[in-house]
Homo-oligomer: A and B are copies of this chain.
Amino acid sequence: MPADDGTVFALHPQLAQDTVAIGELKLCRLLLNKDANYPWLVLVPRRPDVTEMIDLDASEQAQLTTEIAAVSHALKDITPCDKLNVAALGNMVAQLHVHVIARRKSDAAWPRPVWGVAPALAYGDNELRTLIGAVRRKLGLEQDQ
């Protein structure tokens, strides 16, 4: 997807390594973080060289807000959730990415933020497939994406 200046969006290798692709929303690539401690989605706007939300133009910021809301509703509907955590940090990986995490009072980090607290827990194959399928259905994403 070439941008106006000819550069191309590419997912940062660290994000690619830590996640499984769920599908493409209008602005963002939607990813699942490979950490079964928390239902943890990540939205990455498909724009090159963007590190801050304010690097997006106003219409893209509005679209990002819409997609954060859609993903938040989907997570709340399909997983037990006491609180959503929504965050754009980017201290380790500068490429703009927004975390949307379903938190439980019984989870591995509660009430702390999740970053750097508990080692990532591997998903079982069935568990991963079931969660991704549920997110795709809620968001109307095609199964073959």
* Chain A residues within 8 Å of B, Cβ to Cβ: 51-54, 58, 61-62, 64-65, 68-69, 72-73, 76, 83-92, 94, 103, 110-113, 115-116
Contact = CB atoms under 8 A, between A and B. Distances in A.
A117 to B, nearest CB: 10
A93 to B, nearest CB: 10
A90 B94 contact: no
Contact of A53 (B69, B91, B94): B69
Contact residues of A: prevailing secondary structure: mixed
A69 B92 CA distance: 22
Leading 6 A-B pairs by shortest Cβ distance: A87-B87, A91-B111, A65-B65, A86-B88, A54-B72, A85-B89
A22 to B, nearest CB: 19
A69 B54 contact: yes
A83 B91 contact: yes
A65 B88 CA distance: 13
Contacts of A88: 84-87
A61 B51 CA distance: 21
A110 B87 contact: no
A116 B86 CA distance: 17
